[in-house]
Structure 1
């Protein structure tokens, strides 16, 4: 029997299985839709799919470094309990090591891992562990050398926050210290030039409006030129010193900036990554009282 694209789509919609898995199930069962569903269930693929709508905002970030390349990989789960599971930790470790050989998360999902793709390995793990899990993202930095730091570590290579710092020059340990700084301060960008211009424009608009309103209500208003040429630029300079890594005061020595500390150590910071578990994911907040009331009314 010819397996059509529509049949594959229908099976995917009803089970949530991947396209290749759905096609294989239909092929194995000669196009029998119900038998294909059962085939997927026996392989644990349909079971995994049923969990796909659950929010996976917990998990671990893994980091790995090889020579002048460092990678960070986030693998999410539904509960933080799974992050303590040895099998899940092994999964994250294997995914992170595989990431050293690819350029992005799509390539990582397709990468071979012991005869299976990373994506297929994850699907199998979902069925075994019993929670929805996602390989959400990965990041790469490169330089003459790369240092890694894990905050709230589950193991030395993975935890709640993973940081990578790439430097140009011979690292004497300063890169690891800067990585620890980044974990604490969470800078938005390396330098002013690297900041998203929409962020800069928004901050400029806020500081301009604030300065004008304050001046309008001041007992001793300042000339417009002072506002535009001194006060607003001064506030923007302070903003850049707070959100850009190289301009931040170094946590380990607040008398110098991170950029100056790196220069004093004979290196230049060329890139960094700070990846925290679940950042940017909206968790559904359960209102237990409302849920009970709804049940009683029903």
Structure 2
């Protein structure tokens, strides 16, 4: 088999999720025409849900659905970005969102059961394993607003709850949170052991500075304290630049709007999922040799 045919088989498998040998048969039967091979596979019914159960689904979309005082942020995965970026997958994600916000399942297990038929149908139509990976509920009380932002058509989804302000401002805060990767929302969240470790690192680094060594102990301590605070505050969301007006920090605009952050949640699609890596040509050769 030529390297060109191996590449066509890879393309077909990536697009359909069908088995390797089925893709080979389709490419041969359709005389190396990938588009015809896709139709051939579907006509033969070779894209089965059961065949996808053990595949890794690491692409997809993170999405948010809102209704009244509630919002649900959730992630739906597929195997390839070809499927996750398709209109059909986008419609499927929105359909799942409507079911979740209407039925309000308390757990992921309940939610998975509720949308199982939607995912199974999507797998049959799109030829890839499709799963609801995770979800989290957001609720607002009286005087609070839920802000949301979905970035790059579902690569990142962010929701925040603010006390005070309004819906539009809460959405702006969600945009700013999406644009940064803070370790903490507030300085008060920084653990004491982290401060201690950063202080030790800064003291050690300062020893190489002869000007620092010549200063009185009390001054040295203040310098170290200031450097540690600056380093750690760069990881704190309310101390970072507000993305829509970089002349101000987030904490400042919150104060100007009479608002405060109650809670935040951020989903990045595929985070924490290990994607399998393989030598595709070697995989083809191995399977062909076993036939």
Same fold (TM over 0.5): yes
Give the structure 2 partner of residue 212 of structure 1: 203
Shift of 1:99: 2.7
Aligned partners of 1:250 and 1:261 also within 8 Å: yes
Q: Does 1:264 align with 2:256?
A: yes
How far, CA to CA, are the matches of 1:290 and 1:225 in structure 2? 65
1:89-124 CA-to-partner distances (Å, cap 9, x unmatched) read 2221122223332334233223xxxxxx21243234
SS of corresponding position for 2:94: helix
Secondary structure in 2 aligned to 1:173? helix
Deviation by residue 1:120-152 (Cα, 9 ceiling, x = unmatched): 432342233211122111122223221221111
Q: Following the alignment from structure 2 to structure 1, what is the Cα–Cα distance between the partners of residues 183 and 83?
A: 30
Give the secondary-structure state (helix, strand or coil) at the position aligned to 2:150: strand
Alignment equivalent of 2:225, drawn from 233, 239, 249: 233
Distance 1:161 1:231, change over 3 A: same
- TM-score, scaled to structure 1: 0.68
- Runs (5+) with no aligned partner, structure 1: 1-43, 111-116, 154-158
Query: Any unmatched runs of 5+ in structure 2?
Result: 1-44
Q: CA-atom RMSD, angstroms?
A: 3.2
Match of 1:142 in 2: 139
Counterpart in 1 of 2:63? 62
Determine the structure 1 residue equivalent to 2:98: 97
The 3-state SS of whatever aligns with 2:152 is strand
Work out the number of aligned pairs and report it. 238
Alignment of 1:242-253 (within 5 A): 242-253=234-245
Aligned counterparts of 2:189 and 2:199: Cα–Cα separation in 1: 22
SS across alignment from 2:209: coil
TM-score, normalised with respect to structure 2: 0.69
Structure 1 residue aligned with 2:122: 125
Q: Deviations over 1:10-49 (max 9, x none)?
A: xxxxxxxxxxxxxxxxxxxxxxxxxxxxxxxxxx9x9424
Question: Which position in structure 2 is the counterpart of 1:280?
Answer: 272
Say if 1:64 and 1:148, in contact at 8 Å, map to a contact too.
Answer: no
- The alignment partner of 1:187 has SS state of coil
| Cα-to-partner distance string for 1:222-277 (whole Å, 9 max, x where unaligned) | 566555x4344333422442222222221222333212202211222211222111
Q: In 2, are the aligned partners of 1:259 and 1:269 still within 8 Å (CA)?
A: no
SS at match of 1:61: strand
1:108 maps to what in 2?
111
CA 1:183–1:70 in 2, change beyond 3 Å: closer, same or farther? same
Distance 1:216 1:161, change over 3 A: same
1: CA distance, partners of 2:217 / 2:133: 49
